[in-house]
Amino acid sequence: MLLRVELAPSRLLVAGLVMSYLLALASLIFADIPSWLLCLLASGIFTNVLFSQFSHKQPLALLISDELVRLYFQDHQINVVLEAECHCTPWVQILHFREYLREPALTRTSAANSSLTDPGYLPISIQRLRSRRYSVILLPDSCPSHVRRKLAVLLRWHRFTRGYQLL
């Protein structure tokens, strides 16, 4: 195991989200639009607040080892692949992951007998479209600073980045 990052809920992230929603609502007040459109946009903002609050599960931990990268949630864990679009600064680290799906080896017999509805024989590009994406935002109050520094070093130099220069 190279690194295990325990993730705590970030108060800074919640404060930033609240401020952005309040600014969006305040900008509607000064917009010169019809009242029916104002109500529609305000209800859309409130729906987005409720949807983002209750449907998005944040991972509790991140495990990085030589063989795999894994996200731990409250009731399950998943293997993921690190995407190349990560952003790291001393203050914030934004990591993007894609769920790791087993990619089948297509042979002549399996490709000839397969159909597009059979998920075991889907081409790799279609499987990547099916995979879920996850984002992890590390702020100073979500994990200790020494862990974020170790993570930054791993992102720059370790082989699980598959040759991409992430930073």
Q: For residues 122 and 102, is the Cβ–Cβ distance under 8 A?
A: no
Predicted pLDDT of residue 128: 54
CA 158 distance to own-chain centroid = 20
Query: How far is the C-alpha of 124 from the C-alpha of 130, rounded, in Å?
Result: 10
pLDDT in tens, 116-144: 444 444 444 555 555 788 888 888 898 88
Residue type, 155: L
DSSP-based three-state secondary structure for 152: helix
Tens digit of each residue's pLDDT (9 = 90 or more) over 16-50 = 888 998 899 889 888 888 989 999 999 998 888 88
Q: Which amino acid is at 115?
A: S
Model confidence at 155, pLDDT cuts 50, 70, 90, reads confident
CA neighbor of 103 nearest in space, from 123, 76, 133: 123
